[in-house]
Structure 1
Amino acid sequence: MTDPIYQTDALIAEDIEAYLEQHQNKSMLRFITCGSVDDGKSTLIGRLLYDSKMIFEDQLAALENDSRRVGTQGQDIDFALLVDGLAAEREQGITIDVAYRFFATEKRKFIVADCPGHEQYTRNMVTGASTADCAVILIDARKGVLVQTRRHSFLCQQLGIRNLVLAVNKMDLIDYDETKFNAIVSDYAKFAESIGIESFNAVPISGLAGDNITSRSDNTDWYGGPVLIDLLETMQISNTASQKKPFRMPIQWVNRPNLDFRGFSGLIASGTVKPGDELRSLPSGKTSTVKSVVTMDGELNEAVAGQSITITLEEEIDCSRGDVLATADDPPEVADQFESTIVWMDDEPLVVGRGYWLKLGTQMVSVTIAEPKYEIDVNTMEHLASQTLNLNQIGVCEITTDRRIVFDPYTENRALGGFILIDKITNHTVGAGMLHFSLRRSQNVHWQPTDITRDHHAFMKNQTPRVLWFTGLSGSGKSTIANEVEKKLALMNRHTFLLDGDNVRHGLNKDLGFTESDRIENIRRIGEVAKLMTDAGLIVLTAFISPFRADRQLVRDMIDGGEFIEIHVDTPLEIAEARDVKGLYKKAREGKLKNFTGIDSPYEPPESPEIRVNTVEMTPEEAADHIIAKILPLK
């Protein structure tokens, strides 16, 4: 006879297995709660967690203790404490960071992001909204539609969230007044229409009392619509909609475990794929037929959006990380110039013309951003003139990548239309953006191949091209040392050209001043000229202050690997100022010369240059000999 204890354990194991299987097959909805400060977002999520029985007994006990400590307005439990996890949040009674929580009902699983309401944390809200299928916009029934209500609604619309629920919260504090509820919904509807929101569902709720959240409330017998959880359980999720779109899969890596297997792995962004489908690899444009669709669990007859798979092809074509496999007869676009909306997320403002990293799907390219066409005032929807973007500002800008990338407009495909911007020096994420369309000029300009290659040019000159980039303060001796180096190279029968900062400003860059943006453009143009000269096989010497690391990095990224040599002419400011050959420091000290490097404009010295010369310890000729010795051999 079997021991009853073991029988009980077996039954429990069966129940757990059945429970896990039941939840494994449920669909997953990601949604955010957003709105103004103290609209009750955290309380609402806490209520959802509590009502869906997603709180353990020890958590509930701790929650009750915390609720008694902070006070709960006559209630036993402060549901907001379930979500406000940071100490600073609990102390201030606000949400600062995005808090993610999981819960499930009988019909669906959910991941909810509680987004902060303060304007200063708008960037955190964008982070939470970027992967959401739905947004629950909360409004305090006592206050109506506020500035942050408009801001967050606009951001949700820009980020492509089409499922919106207007949750008019704290109805208990206005005695469940139907007239006030209808007035708020009408006011919001006018605003929503003005920014392109086509539809939304409005629900009168009380997060604290639980009205119309998981069950219908007797306090709002005048309301005939669904309760909040019913709306969340039945709305369409992005994967379902994405399956109906053309197939897109950014390649994450080439899967080559052995010589007999070569596949392309990635997460399907949209559409479906099965053996026999014809795919196109972009940006190359080459086509092939799907041989098999492979996962860890074996081969599939079909895979859909949201699945991670490996695709093998009948005809071998060259693909690598960053490429995109797509439906052959309906591929995405390829371009290098775009119009985009950018949400700036860094304390330091956008620097127009500076190089940033742009990450879109699995593609990583260098990008420069033009002066914004306009900034969007999210409170009034006005288009304002702007020269840059500051923290939390939103602007429409033209951007240019250093090579063509594969994309879809963001409104059609978030995975291939949404990007982040990364500072090249700090590696901080500084912005997020949405691509609208490619600029026509990017499609009309094509690279014309030539028969005489850059390798042939270098072979004819019997040398390897180089860019010797001299950087340092004004008066450090850059031009003098660069001139000495060029003379020595000429005696060695090397083909060179010297680009000097002052000389270039007499012609090519005579239209540029000395503001930060003009300095960036000055260096960008010089970088392009230096690149063309290396294509001609020349050894290029440049003598420019080039004060910003990011701009020197921009030029380094333009030049073929190993050909860019940064030379820091390291001279202390007091020594350079004492020389003051051109009298520029004196004018800068007197206020007659603005934006002068070292005085009222910063100089960022190289952190790890290929060559460093100290002009206090070396004569120009000794410095030139040191540099020549470092760059040999030249072939």
Structure 2
Amino acid sequence: MNALTDNTVQHLSERGLLRFITAGSVDDGKSTLIGRLLFDSKGIFADQLDAMSRSKHKRTVGDAVDLSLLTDGLEAEREQGITIDVAYRYFATPKRKFIIADTPGHEQYTRNMVTGASTADAVIILVDVSKVKLREDGGVDLLIQTKRHSTIAHLLQIEHVIVAVNKMDLVNYDQAIYDRIVKAYQEFAATLGLKDVTPIPLSALTGDNVVDRSDKLAWYQGPTLIELLESLSVDDASHDAPFRFPVQLVARHNGHEANDFRGYMGRIEAGKVSVGDKLVVQPSGQSATVKDIVTLEGSHQSAVVGQSVTLLLEEYLDISRGDLLAGASQPATLLKTLKADVCWMSDEPLDQRRKYWIKHGTRQTSAKITAIESLLDINTQQRHAADGLKLNDIARIGLTVQQPLAADAYADIRATGAFILIDEVTHQTVAAGMIRLAD
């Protein structure tokens, strides 16, 4: 088997990987759920289990192991019993590999949820049955964080949404309460436009319906959580998208020799490329032809999205970090003004008089927010006028940039449709954005 075939087989096997996040309000049981997944699927080591059993921050009753300690890695989290940072964990079953991002529940840490969700294929939104308000008219009032996290999942276009109705043991596994919660969530999801929504009743603490099926939930005929995660399809549309290659580094060796080497290193963010393909360098517009595709395994005839490669070109061109190599037939759109949906992530409110750095792919340039077109109301999903942005606000804004960005609509290609804004003075990330080329 040659190097190309080996590389392709490796890449295809990696497509079985599912990245998912857990989201919900504080104390909904996110960390406990992940701990249960790791524990019941044999995804932890004996020394980890021993450390948990001896932990001074145990928050369970009796001799039960506090599974949330597997993900509450920061000392502040262990002491307070909350998740502050985004905790990433890896585990595998015989059918699939997984990367989990456990995201914070407190409202002030919603920005961390945006970080964890940016690369996710699926989201598990936990709903704590003990916290929702059951109205006398038969309806249910969902928590604002449930609505906020669902809205972010929709904006970030996460493909699969799993609604885990947790702590069913606290309501004696009552199907009627579960059905009311699911109905309320489905009605809210319809206002968002969420399509692939799958509800599941469970108890992370006792393990009901997480990995093992529970007799106490015999009325539920669907899959367990792990069975559902194993069955989700990861239909990566970026494989069929136009070629996009942000240049990270220009590689050279000993330019004084006759066999001078000049390669352009980076990660293929969309599409595929083959030797002989015609490309365009953006934003300069120069034409280029692929001469060779190199990795640590050697030369290849082609490469696909997700692979980190070095491209060699037939032409000798002025290309540097921040440029984009795109398919000549379907280049990106060059933008100096743009509209975007942003989640404001800074404790400091927006000051439209200030300039910010915009980080888009490997390019960084100066940017100015020219308008706040509308602010999204999380409860009603209606947009209204606003004269400022504060922490966790979601808004449609207008931007101008100093140097043109080679971009796509976020709806078409995530990697070239996303950006972050950075404060020029503090160097803190203040917003994450998604480019909208059309409403």
- Segments of 4+ in structure 1 off by > 6 A? none
Instruction: Show the 5 A alignment for 1:289-328.
Output: 289-328=289-328
Which residue type is aligned with residue 159 of structure 1?
A: L
Is residue 171 from structure 1 mapped to residue 168 from structure 2 by the alignment?
yes
Paired residue for 1:207? 204
Instruction: Show the 5 A alignment for 1:15-94.
Output: 27-66=16-55, 70-74=58-62, 76-94=64-82
Q: What do you get for the CA RMSD once the two structures are aligned? A: 2.0
Instruction: Show the 5 A alignment for 1:145-184.
Output: 145-184=142-181
Which of 122, 125, 134 matches 2:113? 125
- The answer (yes or no) to whether the contact 1:353–1:370 under 8 Å persists in 2 is no
Deviation at residue 385 of structure 1 after TM alignment: 2.4
- The answer (yes or no) to whether the contact 2:161–2:196 under 8 Å persists in 1 is yes
Which of 44, 58, 83 matches 1:95? 83
- The answer (yes or no) to whether the contact 1:26–1:109 under 8 Å persists in 2 is no
Q: Distance between the aligned counterparts of 1:137 and 1:398, measured in 2? A: 31
Deviation at residue 253 of structure 1 after TM alignment: 1.3
Is residue 221 from structure 1 mapped to residue 218 from structure 2 by the alignment?
yes
- The answer (yes or no) to whether the contact 1:338–1:438 under 8 Å persists in 2 is no
Residues 277 and 181 of structure 1, relative CA distance in 2, 3 Å threshold: same
Question: What is the DSSP-based 3-state SS (H/G/I as helix, E as strand, rest coil) of the residue aligned with 1:180?
Answer: helix
Residues 59 and 328 of structure 1, relative CA distance in 2, 3 Å threshold: same
Instruction: Show the 5 A alignment for 1:341-380.
Output: 341-380=341-380
Give the gaps of 5 or more residues in structure 2.
1-9, 133-141
Instruction: Show the 5 A alignment for 1:306-455.
Output: 306-437=306-437
Moved more, 250-259 or 329-338: 250-259
- The answer (yes or no) to whether the contact 2:147–2:379 under 8 Å persists in 1 is yes
Q: Distance between the aligned counterparts of 2:291 and 2:58, measured in 1? A: 62
Which residue type is aligned with residue 342 of structure 1?
A: V
Question: What is the DSSP-based 3-state SS (H/G/I as helix, E as strand, rest coil) of the residue aligned with 1:60?
Answer: helix
Paired residue for 2:135? none
Q: Distance between the aligned counterparts of 1:251 and 1:26, measured in 2? A: 24
- The answer (yes or no) to whether the contact 1:368–1:399 under 8 Å persists in 2 is yes
Deviation at residue 427 of structure 1 after TM alignment: 1.1
Instruction: Show the 5 A alignment for 1:529-608.
Output: none
Q: Distance between the aligned counterparts of 2:309 and 2:212, measured in 1? A: 40
Q: Distance between the aligned counterparts of 2:335 and 2:210, measured in 1? A: 47
Paired residue for 1:571? none
Deviation at residue 108 of structure 1 after TM alignment: 2.0
Paired residue for 2:284? 284
Paired residue for 2:104? 116
- The answer (yes or no) to whether the contact 1:163–1:200 under 8 Å persists in 2 is yes
Question: What is the DSSP-based 3-state SS (H/G/I as helix, E as strand, rest coil) of the residue aligned with 1:311?
Answer: strand
Which of 72, 92, 101 matches 1:104? 92
Computing the radius of gyration over CA atoms, which structure comes out larger, 1 or 2? Answer: 1
Paired residue for 2:244? 248
Q: Could you report, residue by residue, the CA deviation over 1:180-209 in whole angstroms, capped at 9, with x for unpaired residues?
A: 222211111111110121221111111111
Q: Could you report, residue by residue, the CA deviation over 1:280-332 in whole angstroms, capped at 9, with x for unpaired residues?
A: 21112222221211101111232111110011122333322111111111111
Residues 363 and 409 of structure 1, relative CA distance in 2, 3 Å threshold: same
Q: Distance between the aligned counterparts of 2:148 and 2:81, measured in 1? A: 21
- The answer (yes or no) to whether the contact 1:365–1:402 under 8 Å persists in 2 is yes
Paired residue for 1:630? none
Is residue 257 from structure 1 mapped to residue 249 from structure 2 by the alignment?
no
Which residue type is aligned with residue 285 of structure 1?
A: G
Q: Could you report, residue by residue, the CA deviation over 1:508-556 in whole angstroms, capped at 9, with x for unpaired residues?
A: xxxxxxxxxxxxxxxxxxxxxxxxxxxxxxxxxxxxxxxxxxxxxxxxx
Deviation at residue 50 of structure 1 after TM alignment: 0.7
Which residue type is aligned with residue 191 of structure 2?
A: S
Residues 264 and 56 of structure 1, relative CA distance in 2, 3 Å threshold: same
Deviation at residue 25 of structure 1 after TM alignment: 5.8
Deviation at residue 88 of structure 1 after TM alignment: 2.2
Q: Distance between the aligned counterparts of 2:16 and 2:299, measured in 1? A: 22
Q: State the identity as a percent.
A: 51
Moved more, 52-61 or 343-352: 52-61
Q: Distance between the aligned counterparts of 2:14 and 2:245, measured in 1? A: 24
Which residue type is aligned with residue 416 of structure 1?
A: T
Give the gaps of 5 or more residues in structure 1.
1-20, 440-635
- The answer (yes or no) to whether the contact 1:26–1:107 under 8 Å persists in 2 is no
- The answer (yes or no) to whether the contact 2:15–2:234 under 8 Å persists in 1 is no
TM-score under structure 1 length normalisation = 0.63
Residues 71 and 182 of structure 1, relative CA distance in 2, 3 Å threshold: same
Q: Distance between the aligned counterparts of 1:433 and 1:25, measured in 2? A: 28
Could you say which structure has the higher helix fraction? 1
Q: Distance between the aligned counterparts of 1:107 and 1:302, measured in 2? A: 28
Which of 127, 130, 133 matches 1:142? 130
Paired residue for 2:136? none
Could you say which structure has the higher strand fraction? 2
Question: What is the DSSP-based 3-state SS (H/G/I as helix, E as strand, rest coil) of the residue aligned with 2:316?
Answer: coil
Question: What is the DSSP-based 3-state SS (H/G/I as helix, E as strand, rest coil) of the residue aligned with 2:372?
Answer: coil
Q: Distance between the aligned counterparts of 1:421 and 1:195, measured in 2? A: 25
- The answer (yes or no) to whether the contact 1:337–1:438 under 8 Å persists in 2 is no
Residues 137 and 402 of structure 1, relative CA distance in 2, 3 Å threshold: same
Deviation at residue 110 of structure 1 after TM alignment: 1.6
TM-score under structure 2 length normalisation = 0.90
Which residue type is aligned with residue 49 of structure 1?
A: L
Which residue type is aligned with residue 73 of structure 2?
A: G
